[in-house]
């Protein structure tokens, strides 16, 4: 029983992580501005470059791709510890996988001969996102498939128009997309 509960949590947390990559990515693409304080240069500008030349990402170093993720995850885990006095395995699970999200994204831009066989296999069985899944995001007008971890959530979110719904919701409060990327 306990094994089943842990397995269910792992699957649920993994899908939550995929969704969180979508939230961050959606926000960067649709609402980010290069002149924003702190994050403008660190992540928004890098993200805009990635849309201008997606394959360029395959030449980037681990630190270039993941440093912002580790800063964000470090802040999150520190916050959890300060508030609750402990950091459960669920937070570590989301944190460590989340800090490496951009590497999973990078693998989705690499050809099979540019990455280890294990990664090709994980993509093939659908544990992590495959190149043709992520290609949906880089297909004009580049306004869908924002999640970058798994191939599972994007089709559902796109089918129900989830991200467009969020944009309409924000627009009712006078918050509009920047439309930099299209």
Where do contacts with Zn ion occur on this chain (CB under 5 A)?
A: 29
Nearer to Zn ion by C-beta: 67 or 110? 110
Q: Of all residues in this chain, which one has the CB nearest to Zn ion in the complex?
A: 29
**Shortest distance, position 44 Cβ to Zn ion, whole Å:** 11
Minimal CA–CA distance to 144: which of 1, 52, 25? Answer: 25
Residue found under tokens 């924000």: 170
Minimal CA–CA distance to 98: which of 167, 42, 15? Answer: 15
Q: Residues 41, 34: contact at Cβ < 8 Å?
A: yes
Q: Residues 33, 40: contact at Cβ < 8 Å?
A: yes
Nearer to Zn ion by C-beta: 29 or 133? 29
Nearer to Zn ion by C-beta: 18 or 29? 29
**Shortest distance, position 78 Cβ to Zn ion, whole Å:** 28
**Shortest distance, position 10 Cβ to Zn ion, whole Å:** 26
**Shortest distance, position 163 Cβ to Zn ion, whole Å:** 11
b/e burial code for range 155-178 (CB count within 10 A of at least 16 → b): eebbeeebbeeebeeeeeeeeebe
Nearer to Zn ion by C-beta: 17 or 24? 24
């Amino acid at each position: 029983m306990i094994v089943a509960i842990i397995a269910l949590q792992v699957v649920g947390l993994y899908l939550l992580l995929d969704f969180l990559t979508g939230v961050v990515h959606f926000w960067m693409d649709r609402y980010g501005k290069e002149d924003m304080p702190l994050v403008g240069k660190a992540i928004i500008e890098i993200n805009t470059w990635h849309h201008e030349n997606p394959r360029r990402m395959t030449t980037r170093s681990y630190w270039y791709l993941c440093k912002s993720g580790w800063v964000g995850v470090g802040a999150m885990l520190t916050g959890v510890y300060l508030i609750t006095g402990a950091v459960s395995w669920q937070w570590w699970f989301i944190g460590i996988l989340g800090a490496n999200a951009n590497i999973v994204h990078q693998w989705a831009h690499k050809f099979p001969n540019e990455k280890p066989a294990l990664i090709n296999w994980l993509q093939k069985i659908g544990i992590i996102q495959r190149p043709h899944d992520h290609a949906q995001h880089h297909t004009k007008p580049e306004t869908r498939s924002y999640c970058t971890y798994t191939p599972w959530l994007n089709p559902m979110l796109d089918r129900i128009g989830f991200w467009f719904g969020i944009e309409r919701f924000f627009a009712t409060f006078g918050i509009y997309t920047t439309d930099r990327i299209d």
